[in-house]
Amino acid sequence: MALDATDAKVKSTFTGIGKAVVEFLVALMEYVAQLRPAEREYAEELLMPLLRISKEKASRLLAKASDLTARPVVLQALAEGRVDEGKALMIVELLQPLSAVQAATAEQVLLAHAENNAYSATRQYARRYIDRLDPTAAEHRHQEKREQRKVEKTNLDDGMASLRLIMPALDTALAFDHIDAIARGLPKDGRALDQKRVDVALDLLLGKETGAPQGQVTVNLTMAISSLIGMDDDPAILQGHGPLPIKIARDVAAGGIWKRILTDPVTGIAEDVTTYRPTTKQRELIAARYPHCTMIGCRQPVHRCDLDHCCPFNGSNTSVDNLRPKCRRHHRMKHETSWQCHNLEDGRHVWTTPEGKTYESEIEPIGEPAPF
């Protein structure tokens, strides 16, 4: 079978999944609607033996059916294969705190973005877009979530368990950077970096010596000068995470060390960084312009990526125009397979598959484009 035909079959089958999901959810809501009011409270108990599923699974299916069928525009996009189930559920979830008017506007915008981007990219775009619609509500939601911070222990197989901390993103970034810096400062001893991070975190929690200097903790926040001085309330961007309520960023700014990043007024894309050391300047500008691996759909944050020379290094082409972040997997893919990539003049990165298909990655603005 030709590759084009295989591609078409894979895509049509994937689209068919969305259509089948919609048909099932609609049928499920029709099933519940036919029950007597007193029985609807126990719909899960009817689905458990019918579908051979647990009560928890039945409850999740009913909630999903209720949420998605309440948004016919999103449901239609799922049925037509323009978005998959994960994106559809994500959009519905993010629309819930908005007013009816705001949700109707945001729905179309987010669907348009989701049709051409991966889940994580759309989620970050959506969070920033929604936070800009109502910054006060965004701050209120953050405070509500902050009240729900907790520590969870989950037992795993083979004598293992996980310890999960749910806390504000800024605190998480600071804590991770602290653990990571100590782990990287330890001597080579056969442990992988992830293993060292776990051991360091455990030592810190138990009050033990970590075996390496604790160093300075650093996080990168980006915000418009207009937001910093209170002219507007557009959210800041926490590198490796996404939008952050501007009030939090202003509090951090009061005691932080800042560098000016110039952006293109039309696109909002980073153009220059005011620093004094060229090598550092290049890295900072690339990190501001490309916060993730530049492989289509990959969201590995830039601080975990290599800076790849898109055109092979020739002694004089270590420049912002030629450097792009790639995670180790996709850096290796470029060099070890027949995948190819090159840069366009506007900063976009183009990948070519071994079969000759091309895909373009978009630059993520760090500022809002000028309204003209």
Structure tokens at 190: 């056969």
Give yes or no for a contact between 268 and 366, defined as CB atoms under 8 angstroms apart: yes
Give yes or no for a contact between 141 and 147, defined as CB atoms under 8 angstroms apart: no
CA angle 275, 263, 142 (to 5 degrees): 100
Q: What's the chain look like in SS3?
A: CCHHHHHHHHHHHHHHHHHHHHHHHHHHHHHHHCCCHHHHCCHHHHHHHHHCCCHHHHHHHHHHHHHHHCCHHHHHHHHCCCCCHHHHHHHHHHHCCCCHHHHHHHHHHHHHHHCCCCHHHHHHHHHHHHHHHCHHHHHHHHHHHHCCCEEEEEECCCCCEEEEEECCHHHHHHHHHHHHHHHHHCCCCCCCHHHHHHHHHHHHHHCCCCCCCCCCCCCCEECCHHHHCCCCCCCEEECCCEEECHHHHHHHHCCCCCCCEEECCCCCCEEEECCCCHHHHHHHHHHHHCCECCCCCCCCEHHHCEEEECCCCCCCCCCCCCEEEECHHHHHHHHHCCCEEEECCCCCEEEECCCCCEEEECCCCCCCCCCC
Contacts of 336 (CB under 8 A, 6+ apart): none
Question: What integer pLDDT is reported at residue 69 of this predicted model?
Answer: 96
Q: What is the dihedral of CA 334, 338, 339, 344, to 10 degrees?
A: 90
Structure tokens at 176: 């991770």
Per-residue pLDDT of the chain (372 residues; tens, 9 = 90+): 456 788 888 888 988 999 999 999 999 999 999 999 888 889 999 999 999 999 999 999 999 999 999 999 999 999 999 999 999 999 999 998 888 999 999 999 999 999 998 898 898 888 888 888 877 777 778 888 889 999 999 999 999 999 999 998 888 888 898 899 899 989 999 999 999 999 999 999 998 888 777 766 666 777 776 676 667 777 777 777 777 777 777 766 655 555 555 555 555 655 555 432 336 777 888 888 888 899 988 888 888 888 888 877 666 677 778 888 999 899 889 888 999 998 888 888 899 998 888 988 877 765 665 555
Question: What integer pLDDT is reported at residue 136 of this predicted model?
Answer: 77
pTM for this one? 0.62
Nearest to 122 by CA among 74, 64, 171, 62: 74
Structure tokens at 301: 């944050």
Q: Which residue has the tokens 């960084």?
A: 273
Q: Tell me which long-range contacts 94-99 makes (C-beta under 8 A, separation of at least 24).
A: 94/123, 94/126, 94/127, 94/130, 95/71, 97/130, 97/137, 97/141, 98/130, 98/133, 98/134, 98/137
Cβ-in-10-Å burial (0-12, 13-18, 19+) of 32 comes to: middle
